[in-house]
Chains A and B, each alone.
Chain A
């Protein structure tokens, strides 16, 4: 990735951090696997969603982690609605 984006952590306790594609990829892959998706398909979906998120980030140099989650969910819905639901719910279960 040839650009840097500051992610403001939503809990406000930690300082900003740089956007890490591999972190988002791992998170979406794990969510797809949780939705009982085969591993290869999960990785392909995660790559597609990461591409879309990066495209969006090019226009938004400073975002919150919630923004990233919302945009990921929006794109993930197109590829795997169940995984998108789980990804969205992740912080809303307890």
Chain B
């Protein structure tokens, strides 16, 4: 395998990690029946907070934890408003995104000219030194493996545990779940916080691994793509990886387009991931026979009010 191909595969994997994190978090949130459109805002907060902590402490672990906490803090605003104050999910999610972009830019002003240490790839003695396999399988940063692990964990939780079953049941019919005594709001709040934490880590990946510096608006719509990915994955954890690789692939191929002899203004190539999202959403609909998506949680985005 030649060097360029390995470079591209590595690049695709790295590009898809933030999407996996954000999408797997949102998947759990949506499975519980909540539509949080604030992923972009939570991601960018993760990106800036991760960067700030990395700059001041130099500890990769600490910065990732801080980014996760930032995402969760953002998510808690959303949880508080939608679950206790019964606000509209769409409006609140949008507000969260706008707020997050603003706050991140506000904090980021003081960190615009610095670079931080990149979280580096693991080096596993012997394994990482293997030819080809070494870099393709054992040559990533720890967060890459964490992302894959999270997908497994989420799958295991949703389909192999009682609590996962309850969470899915709440997303399917919150009134029924409440009637038989399950704590709808508690499950949802926890799911939202999990989603926030994952989005935060996904954001940190942007500023700590992909580009170790702060660029305003650096999430560049990835939070939204992650939401589209959940639809693409039809709420199935493993399909999130497939989707993320496709999107990661497009964004990397666009960088390498000129190497393949494609000469189109850069702006048109940069449009590809966004256009691809639309195309994928359309093709999903052409593929399915029915108007209604059966895998979609029934209560998605509906406000739950326990006394009614």
Task: Judge: A and B partners, yes or no.
Answer: no
Q: Hey, which bits of chain B sit against chain A, CB under 8 A?
A: none
Q: Hey, which bits of chain A sit against chain B, CB under 8 A?
A: none
